Amino acid sequence: MKKLFFVLVIFSSFNLFSQDRITGEMFSTRSEVISQNGMVATSHPLASQIGVDVLQNGGNAIDAAIAANAALGLMEPTGNGIGGDLFAIVWIENEKKLYGLNASGRSPEDLSLEYFKENDFKSIPAYGPLPVSVPGCVDGWFELHEKFGKIKMRDILSPTIKYAEDGFPVSELVSYYMKNASNNFKEYPNFKETYYINDSTPKKGQIFKNPDLAKTLRVIAKKGKKGFYEGEVANSIANFIQDQGGFLSYDDLKNHKSEWIDPVSTNYRGYDVWELPPNGQGIAALQILNLLEAYDIKSMGFGSAQYIHHFVEAKKIAFADRAKYYADMDFNKIPVEYLISKEYADIRRKEISSENAAKRVLPGNIENGDTIYLTTADSEGNMVSLIQSNYRGMGSGMIPTGLGFMLQDRGELFSLDQNHFNVYAPKKRPFHTIIPAFITKDGNPFVSFGLMGGAMQPQGHAQIVINIVDFEMNLQEAGDAPRIRHQSDQQPTGGNMTDGGELALESGFDYKQVRELMKKGHKIIYDLGSFGGYQAIMIDYINKVYYGASESRKDGNAIGY
């Protein structure tokens, strides 16, 4: 009997502890990656490896970011590609300075608001030729490369060209999203020719090739940005869109130019959190953090009803302002500095009840005048935070004949309300969901990070910062932790929340806390939709190493050397 008891005790101990992590939070999927010389974190392992190869072959973080982005356009076309836009925040170590790049494209010059009104459009369509704006990605690559790159563009693009010609195995999530996308796009011109293997999109593990994209990238590698925005490629894009009934022209492409801009920041408990100003939504994360800074988040505890409640109420306020004010700053005087000020946060915080969920939140009365994320770091201390997307996963459905990529549909995010900041106008940049982020401390880089996923992005950015700063999670734990996503009618095309919206919580939150949230008036929904895709790199100046983390909800990884 004693022997049997001894065996049971050992067996019970094994059951209790064999599947738990020995270190860190129990929800963490893996340890951080640690390296001395460089790091690349992307949502696809082959793209991460390409980035590291570029670093090892003499390239810097900027070269590696471009190379990884090019690879993702081939290997994860469900989230990005050269038919989309790009934003980046770059830390240059020898200057001790952050640079911001807005490489988003503008609407067609020949398409007017009156066209939509005369043809009785209530909103801009999600698919087809009308939501297509100028793709800014390629120009963004060359702006980054001309300013900071080290090796030749042909060497940066050659790994992706080779994979496009020889093929690569399609990963599990990409296969899933491509199959879903085919439901929308299978009858569109050139979709099957570009993305099908036999009679369907690629299955997991099948070898996929895109020789048309390889040809387009070869032109870009040889002729530079003019190889895309002028000449044969530009003519093919413009002619195809106009044949489909759209308005994007050769001159729209030829006249496109990215813009170097200054990132903006707020200080959260001693850490400077940096985002890019509108036409993106990054400052919503800064507004959320400003509103929450006055609360003792740490003592509330991660996953508590009190923390989740206050987070959601702060988000509602930030998104009310997002719905009204975030738009192309060339067309509007946006009060960015005031929106992200502590003074404004103090005023709006008075609207937050600790006990009841707000049903209706209006924007402040201020006087005015599916996506990929990647991050890289090199041995010199340079770091890149880069995000790039087509919108709605693959984009508009418009695939110019023989070019191997789909054009974005960002124009869908314009409003047709002539009194709205984000109203459609020719040669205007639409509201953008994609946002890179960066954290510095005491004037030095700390974390380069981002989290893809539409309106989830600023919510996710704020949660990552809070997880690191308030809850003292490591870089991987901060991304693995269960996430909060609130959704409502507070949209950049117009609309105010009137019913409190809906709150989706990832699995891992205590149901007792969920019940407490319901008592406060939150409408909890069960939703398997996107909670974002995270990548991050942190620099440790004491040990002189980089830490890398990668999203457990995606196929990717962080690789160091």
* C-alpha of 13 from chain center: 43
pLDDT for position 370? 63
Q: Which residues contact 176 (CB under 8 A, 6 or more apart)?
A: none
β-pairing, 502-505 vs 524-525, is: parallel
Dihedral sign of CA atoms 470, 473, 475, 478 in order: negative
Q: Which residues contact 337 (CB under 8 A, 6 or more apart)?
A: 264
78, 371, 375, 376: the catalytic one is: 371
8 A C-beta contact, residue 372 and residue 72: yes
Fold annotation for 262-371+439-560: Glutamine Phosphoribosylpyrophosphate, subunit 1, domain 1 (3.60.20)
pLDDT for position 372? 86
The token duo for 514 is 């969920």
Active site residue 160: no
DSSP H helices in 409-550: 456-469, 475-480, 511-519
8 A C-beta contact, residue 81 and residue 73: yes
pLDDT for position 7? 39
The token duo for 342 is 């502590």
8 A C-beta contact, residue 512 and residue 421: no
> Cβ atoms within 10 A of the Cβ of 516, count?
16
The token duo for 429 is 């940049």
d(CA 236, CA 238): 6
pLDDT for position 375? 97
d(CA 137, CA 447): 24
- Main-chain dihedrals φ then ψ at residue 91, nearest 5 degrees: -100, 125
The token duo for 509 is 């939150």
pLDDT for position 13? 38
The DSSP string of 247-302 is: ---HHHHHT---EEE--EEEEETTEEEEEPPTTSSTHHHHHHHHHHTTS-HHHH-T
pLDDT for position 368? 43
Q: Which residues contact 199 (CB under 8 A, 6 or more apart)?
A: none
Domain residue limits, the chain: 262-371+439-560
pLDDT for position 20? 64
pLDDT for position 453? 86
409 burial level (CB within 10 Å; 0-12, 13-18, 19+): buried
| Three-state DSSP class for residue 455 | coil
8 A C-beta contact, residue 199 and residue 98: no
DSSP state, residue 361: B
pLDDT for position 3? 44
The token duo for 541 is 């100046």
Regions of the chain with pLDDT less than 70: 1-20, 367-370
Q: Which residues contact 211 (CB under 8 A, 6 or more apart)?
A: 164, 165, 404
Taking the complete model, does pTM exceed 0.75, yes or no?
A: yes
d(CA 373, CA 96): 23
Q: Which residues contact 136 (CB under 8 A, 6 or more apart)?
A: 84, 85, 86, 103, 104, 105, 256, 258
CA-based radius of gyration for the chain: 23
